[in-house]
Amino acid sequence: MSAQVTNVIQIGKKPVQNYALAVQFCLKEGASTVTFRARGEAIVTALDAANMAIRLDVPVQRGEVRWGSETGRDGKPCSWVEVDLLAVAS
């Protein structure tokens, strides 16, 4: 039985294309699941990157999407999202 490899990509302020291409690199390294994790304003970038990876013919499909809110260092609430992309056998 092979171990399931998961890579987590923290979304920040880089261009969306960088994150979409990072999915390809993770899959070449043998990852079976790639997770985008973003907080606050970067949530839009995470969702765009996931959609772009699918449109670029990267062999992935959408997996689970999790979201919520947590308290930041300053005591204010901050939203977060995690998007799983599952490798598809080609």
Q: What is the mean pLDDT of the chain?
A: 90
C-alpha Rg value of the chain to the nearest Å: 14
Residue 72 vs residue 65, higher pLDDT = 65
Predicted TM-score (pTM) of this structure: 0.85
Identify whether 46 is part of a domain.
yes
Question: How many domains, in total, are found in the chain?
Answer: 1
Q: Is residue 75 a part of any domain in this protein?
A: yes
pLDDT in tens, 23-53: 999 988 888 999 999 999 999 999 999 999 9
pLDDT digits (tens, 9 = 90+) for 46-62: 999 999 999 988 889 99
Q: What is the domain extent for residue 67? A: 6-87
| CATH code, 71 | 3.30.110.20
- Overall average pLDDT of the 57-81 stretch: 92
- pLDDT for 89 equals 79
Is 1 domain-assigned? no
β-pair partners for 60: 87
SS (H, E, C) 67-90: EEEEECCCCCEEEEEEEEEEECCC
